Amino acid sequence: MTKPSDSAKQKTANPMWGGHYERAPDQWMEVINASIGCDHKLYAQDIRGSLAHASMLADQGVITREEAEKIMSGLATILGEISRGEMVWKTELEDIHMHVEHRLKELIGETAGKLHTARSRNDQVATDFRLYVHDACALVMGYLEGLIRALLQRADEHAETVMPGFTHLQTAQPVTLGHHLMAYVEMFGRDHGRFADAQARMSESPLGAAALAGTSFPIDRMATAESLGLGQPMRNSLDAVGSRDFALEFLSSVAICMQNLSRLAEECVLWSSAPFAFIRFSEAFTTGSSIMPQKRNPDAAELIRGKTGRVYGSLIALLTTMKGLPLAYNKDMQEDKEPVFDASETLQLCLQVMMGMVSDFTANAERMRVAAAEGYATATDLADWLVRSLGMPFRDAHHVTGRIVRAAEAHQRKLHELSLEEMQAVEPRITQDVFNVLSVEHSVASRTSFGGTAPARVREAIQQARKRYAL
């Protein structure tokens, strides 16, 4: 727990409401009330919003142009100071807004106080936070595009590399590694779309809503919205300061994206293990053991998998904070930022790490091909052959194929290792042609339906994805 600083113990009324309050808050009240330990990350957005507000106030004649230029010059100085790490954060100033205002007063004097005309900390923080999340969406989309690009490159390399496809983690049918990787291109593509949709929905400005009811000053909310790149102002002042669904939508998208990353991470862990040996990661994305010198642990993938639960917690935390709040602003909402900051930074890190892992792995094509031939993976191809060649209803073909698989199991042989006579003992009409469909290569090549695993289809999907994402 952070202890009160010496400055927090000073017995002076709070500078924001000292006209009504005669005594300072309790030292622990000051600690619990302060958010500067977290919301200092909003400094760029806070100054950006203040610049737009000051310019608009001058345009509307609420303050003079000279006052606005003085304010804007001071804000530019503060932006540089904070960027260089020169600002000293003080608990008694509570948040980033008061730090900027306090420093501005030191720089330009009483004119600084005019910046707060026609706005409240309520619409100020709502604007800052919305700008931060809006920017975070753009960053995440950029990293997703990088990951998709890496997946497309590896899928192109392995469009014909045969591997087992699984259901229930049991060998099901042969697929290609390229096809498998393209599944993640689709998943991360939907993630990209979710962030784009969320960003579009949050492109409205709360600035000018003031505390909750708007303002009597002749402000131009459309001007500040456009200046901030948010398109238009929010249409209801209560909603503007009292809603955080834009942050919840962002966190929901982050959580879904982390789930998709975690699934890929889990396959990286499985595939790089000795029993699978499908892929191998270099030393760049693995760690060793303090006691077992032979180990090469896929810790990067495991950490992505582990951090997923942390992001889920951030979403649940904010949902819980918001679930019982009446309109408009409540101090509970001070708890909205930390989960968003943490989840955003976590996702961005994990996307960059996964991008590196995808580019790094070496595939063991022979091991994957051998594994694809195990577990009677071409049994469905046999059933399909019975339907096509003998006109057998699929359910009957399924039954016949099951009996042939059982015969192969009894002899401890693969399907293609059975003799024609052994198959004809189950179904007399089977001909020598059946052996043409029992190889994993034929199985993969035959899956030519749209979205299928045939190499030609995989390469089509790669080209379409490159066009879709302009990669």
Catalytic residues: 168, 289
Contact residues for 326 (Cβ-Cβ < 8 A; gap 6+): none
Torsion angle, CA of 112/116/118/122, rounded to 10 degrees? 170
Q: Look up residue 303 and give its two tokens.
A: 């950490």
List the end-to-end C-alpha distance of the chain, in Å, as a whole number. 48
Task: Report CA-CA distances (Å) from 22 to 18, 161, 276.
Answer: 6, 76, 71
Rounded Cα distance between 80 and 78, Å, is 5
Of the candidates 325, 421, 340, 408, which has an alpha carbon nearest to the alpha carbon of residue 374? 408
Q: How far is CA 390 from the centre of its chain?
A: 50
Give the number of residues written for the chain.
471
Task: Report CA-CA distances (Å) from 19 to 22, 24, 354.
Answer: 7, 12, 54
Inter-residue contact 224 to 162 (CB < 8 Å): no
Of the candidates 215, 177, 255, 189, which has an alpha carbon nearest to the alpha carbon of residue 57? 215
Rounded Cα distance between 96 and 272, Å, is 47
Residue with tokens 């000293």: 88
Of the candidates 160, 151, 152, which has an alpha carbon nearest to the alpha carbon of residue 454? 160
Rounded Cα distance between 436 and 113, Å, is 84
Rounded Cα distance between 315 and 72, Å, is 36
Report the 3 state secondary structure along 47-107.
HHHHHHHHHHHHHCCCCCHHHHHHHHHHHHHHHHHHHCCCCCCCHHHCCHHHHHHHHHHHH
Residue with tokens 């009324």: 13
Q: Which residues pair with 174 in a beta bridge?
A: 164
